[in-house]
Amino acid sequence: MTEMVFGATPVRAGDPILPRWWRTVDRWSLACVLGLFAMGLLLGLAASVPLAEKNNLPQFYYVTRQAVFGFGALVAMLIVSMMSPRQVRRWGVLGFAVAFLALFLLPVIGTDFGKGAVRWLRLPGGLSIQPSEFLKPCFIAICAWCIAASDELGGPPGKIISAMIAIVVVMMLALQPDFGQATLTLLAWCAMYFIAGAPLILLFSVFGITIMGGIFAYGASEHFARRIDGFLAAEVDPRTQIGYATNAIQEGGFFGVGVGEGTVKWSLPDAHTDFIIAVAAEEYGLIMVLAILFLYGTIVVRSLNRLRRERDPFARIAGTGLACAFGIQALINMGVAVRLLPAKGMTLPFVSYGGSSVIASGIALGMLLALTRSRPQGEIGDVLGRGH
């Protein structure tokens, strides 16, 4: 009866892992992820060629690397999606410790690649890694564990601990400075805390503190102030990245100017990363943008709907944080391109070029797919009586 009510899929003892995974995973969300990755490769063919030529590299150098990164991300996503919530929690805590240590060491051994913010660790072979990308899903896992544990009988003050972790992580990200990732991390924590039953007064207090922090950052960081001033300016400077992106979106119209006919990719240095949606809008028009929005929306809505029936507090809280972070990051990226938000330097998950971004997104979506898999929920008394 419980399975009929809560939509759980029966799991037979001794089932091979792949058939069991296929029956229980959200296949619609999985298909949407594959669709986003395919669109990323398609747009990369258009957006990255000018950059490759400029850097005297083979024409499809960046597209080939994106395909390799994407394959690694999909493999990571599939492996992680086969985990149980307990395994997601354990590996998430371990991953947080490693990513936090890497983030802590950035001021000493990190590099900014000339972009004004020390966010990357340089690796042998010309590779680099951005620890903050991997920190996000692991941060959500450890905070969800703390929040869920606080509701157990005799449990620790997990909500306070999660708040302390969030404050430390947000401050470290802001000092890079990486205000985009800091904001996204804080919003993910607020979503989890809200699901756990936080009073609205607390969330409004966090919002107020964030505004005060933004005012302080405006006065203390020239990098931050320049972006805010550009956003608040009455007219957009057509020679800036926002100016090029805005013009490209306007030129694209409903159906676009045609495949390969766009010009913004020759003007924008970040056309293949932060402003990939401008390339999509110019060459393929509003149709492509709406398709991308539909895929992101489907993943987020379906995940939240499946989590609504989840009785495991950790799975419900962590899944909500992952789904919200995924959706909010996509909205921030597209909002910057249409000048609804100040420039953040944030990628479009699975679509933008970038090894750290793509692989970290694969891990995050793998965790989300793992937590939203259908499974017997048991009686409510059984759930309340066992530890998590």
Q: Convert the pLDDT of each residue in 169-204 to its tens digit.
A: 999 998 887 888 998 999 999 999 988 887 778 778
Measure the CA dihedral 57/269/331/261, to 10°: -80
pLDDT in tens, 340-379: 887 777 889 999 988 889 999 999 999 999 999 987 754 4
Is residue 87 predicted with pLDDT exceeding 80? yes
Q: Where are the beta strands (DSSP E) in the chain?
A: 110-111, 120-122, 128-129
Q: Is residue 368 part of a domain?
A: yes
pLDDT tens, 252-275? Answer: 888 888 887 787 888 777 778 888
Query: Is 30 a member of any domain?
Result: no
Is 66 within the bounds of a domain?
Answer: yes
Q: Which residues pair with 221 in a beta bridge?
A: none
Surface-to-core class of residue 191, CB atoms within 10 Å of its CB (0-12 exposed, 13-18 middle, 19+ buried): buried
Does 297 map to a domain?
yes
- Name the 3-class secondary structure at 111: strand
What are 109-133's pLDDT values in tens digits?
A: 888 776 667 788 887 777 788 999 9
Cα–Cα distance between 315 and 304 in angstroms, integer? 11
On whether residue 382 sits in a domain, the answer given is no
Query: Between the CA of residue 252 and those of 49, 77, 273, 323, 329, what are the distances in Å?
Result: 20, 33, 19, 30, 23
The tokens of 161 are what? 């601990």
Domain-embedded: residue 386 = no
Domain that holds residue 165: 36-373
pLDDT (0 to 100) of residue 378: 46
Q: Is 378 inside a domain boundary?
A: no
For residue 327, tell me if it sits in a domain. Answer: yes
CA pair distance 18, 307, nearest whole angstrom: 22
| Prediction pTM value | 0.88
The C-alpha atoms of residue 94 and residue 7 are separated, in whole angstroms, by 32
**Is residue 3 pLDDT above 70, yes or no?**
no
* Domain count of the fold of the chain: 1
pLDDT value, residue 68: 93
